[in-house]
Structure 1
Amino acid sequence: MTFSQSEQSSSQEPRRLLITGGAGFIGSNFVHHWCEHYKSDRVVVLDALTYAGNRNTLKELEGLENFRFVQGDICDRALVDNLLEEEAINTVAHFAAESHVDRSILGPDAFVRTNVVGTFTLLESFRQHWDGRGSKNSDRFLHVSTDEVYGTLGPDDHPFTETTPYAPNSPYSASKAGSDHLARAYYHTYGVPTIITNCSNNYGPYHFPEKLIPLMCINILLGKPLPVYGDGQNIRDWLYVRDHCSALDTVIHKGVPGETYNVGGNNEVKNLDLVHMLCDLMDELAPNLPVKPAKELITFVKDRPGHDRRYAIDATKIKTELGWSPSVTVEEGLRQTIEWYLTHEDWWRPLLSKEYQEYYARVYA
């Protein structure tokens, strides 16, 4: 469910959004979604353009009158203060985060700085800006988080709900848990209209190649091994990124400040089964693969430290209270994702840099 421009209240001023991390994977898809659906709203993207941020993802939007891109760090308080004031921001959609578990194991300090200190900087700046401009009922601070803060599930455990206790098991998930707690505290202490969303594993266009699905797609195209951790029986709930964007749209318009909403795709799949699905689709859709069938490339590697066995989201609350549910099955979403990567080599090929190759060798050695 999404809202069209015509469905916005005529008495509500246009939203002026600051979207942090808007050149990253989920953030950039959300930027495209918002600019498509709300053409009179102002969209300002703040992104540090670290390794996973790609300004080319937004190039078709840069000529729009209501769009602005700013390269900068969310920990830069003066920059954030100036942007909020200069652009009269009334809505923050906060995606900026270090998000890859493997990288958090190799270097946790960047995760604490960006995910915890950066979120605090944004919240504190928005609090003072919000107080100063005069709060309005439509103002929002959307904090986009992950289901990984809840830890791991057993095979028969009920999926995560909004009341599941936090039990993070990696530096990444611990840093996101910390940022969630800050967002919650700023509502209860200061009344800042924060809303938290915790989503399951996203996939789709513009996904950096270190993550499972783009990694497998690209490695198949290159005839490289497909590394599968451990026994491949870890289970994830897969959410197509454009479904996720429609959920966030719904939360901004209909969500209640101070609340948390879990967003899931209702698609629990074992990692090894997912890789087999990708191999079969690549065999079907990609001509002239170096190795065919692609499943011959599957290679089991040493398991990731602290690897959570199962994630699953119970998205009942957002469905019953806000009327949102996912529209794309994992089979449909994977097909669309593969077709995107097959037609956008000019986007992903430059990302296979020397730094990326060195990182890849460290992780999968």
Structure 2
Amino acid sequence: MSAILVTGGAGFIGANFVRHWRATHPADEIVILDALTYAGHRENLDGIGGVELVEGDIRDFELVQKLLAGRNVGRIAHFAAESHVDRSIHGPDIFIETNVLGTLSVLKAAKAVWLDTGSGRAHRFHHISTDEVYGSLGPDDPAFREISRYAPNSPYAASKAGADHLVRAFHATYGLDTTISNCSNNYGPFQSPEKLIPLFLINALHGEALPIYGDGMQRRDWLHVGDHCRAIQAVIEDGKSGDVYNVGGGAELPNLELIDRICATVDRLFETDPSLAERFPEAPAAKGLPSASLKSHVEDRLGHDRRYAIDDSKIAAELGCRPVRSIDEGLEETVRWYLDNETWWRAVMVPQAAE
């Protein structure tokens, strides 16, 4: 059986995907290529058997080519990317280097091994992208579809749009078997503490401010990473070559409402588990106060998109894939995971706040 190469497999979504693929493909060899920067951690892969972690950069063409040829790789799940919007605003160069040039490097290596050698090996290059490539929606606009016009508004989104176009071009020009999925905001286990949900949860546990950009009425669709991984598997295995699939969570909420739901979940768990007050004595919930009392509005982010929404009717109709978790179920599962894995998030915390 051929192997699968997972770039960025020690990151948030990548590590969850590796766990999912191992559970659903127990006989497959899984090779992970990850630079192990601030977003990738060996600890994310603890407890997963039969995986090979290679520390390296996707821009290293020779390394990627060697892994594809030497490990009999027939599938690539390409997660590796700089994905932090605030970081892209303050330092866009690395986003172009990693997301555009890095994707080009992996595409060139795949072409060299899968097409140029004349082996005729069946293959699939799947590229994981974002709904941010489509820009921002008005309050009454229909949700993003696969045919929506690209209109990225941040350096991060622009870099992912560039990567998407390269993947499409390698399919159209060279015949590489590619697929792309554009997903909405992910959340769940192993997400970096600088992202909105874990950031606000951890701040609430420590009695620290919950910084809300602008009026907090930016709307996002929230997708549990477990549901996302199921969708990625479906596209890799059954998606049409050269096609694009949007993956949504069916939970479009203003940021303020999401934050209130996080706070309510924390308060409810503190009420039912007295040990939490002992572990986190600075939390308002430990003192019988609402976590929402920590909310604080700050200056809005530059170029902050107002609304994202995903129309996932295509992947539902063609591949039978829809999210199985409601936002409340997913949030409670996620909050419980962070409470149960305090050692993990303390070890990987990065002192920067962002959505």
TM-score under structure 1 length normalisation? 0.92
Counterpart CA distance in 2 for 1:267 and 1:350 is 30
Unmatched 5+ residue regions in structure 2?
A: 271-275
Corresponding letter in the other structure for 2:308:
Y
Corresponding letter in the other structure for 1:111:
F
Matches within 5 A, 1:220-259: 220-259=204-243
User: How big is the alpha-carbon RMSD for the aligned residues of Structure 1 and Structure 2?
Assistant: 1.2
Matches within 5 A, 1:1-365: 14-61=1-48, 64=49, 66-131=50-115, 132=117, 134-137=119-122, 139-286=123-270, 287-288=276-277, 289=280, 290-291=283-284, 292-352=289-349, 356-357=350-351, 359-360=352-353
Counterpart CA distance in 1 for 2:125 and 2:206 is 42
**2:336 aligned counterpart, secondary structure:** helix
Counterpart CA distance in 2 for 1:323 and 1:36 is 20
Detail structure 1 runs of 4+ shifted over 4 Å in the superposition: none
Corresponding letter in the other structure for 1:28:
A
Counterpart CA distance in 2 for 1:39 and 1:320 is 28
Task: Please state how far the C-alpha of 1:222 moved relative to its aligned partner.
Answer: 1.1
Counterpart CA distance in 1 for 2:269 and 2:24 is 31
> 1:9 aligns to what?
none
Unmatched 5+ residue regions in structure 1?
A: 1-13
TM-score under structure 2 length normalisation? 0.94
1:319-354 per-residue CA deviation (whole Å, 9 max, x = no partner) reads 1111111111101000000000000001001223xx
1:295-338 per-residue CA deviation (whole Å, 9 max, x = no partner) reads 00001000000000000000010011111111111010000000
Task: Please state how far the C-alpha of 1:136 moved relative to its aligned partner.
Answer: 4.0
1:14-55 per-residue CA deviation (whole Å, 9 max, x = no partner) reads 341000000000000000000111011110000000001011
Counterpart CA distance in 2 for 1:67 and 1:97 is 21
**1:68 aligned counterpart, secondary structure:** strand
Task: Please state how far the C-alpha of 1:164 moved relative to its aligned partner.
Answer: 0.2
Corresponding letter in the other structure for 1:122:
V
Counterpart CA distance in 2 for 1:218 and 1:23 is 22
> 2:273 aligns to what?
none
- The percentage of counterpart residues that share the same residue type is 52
Counterpart CA distance in 2 for 1:237 and 1:134 is 42
Corresponding letter in the other structure for 2:69:
E
Matched pairs, number? 341
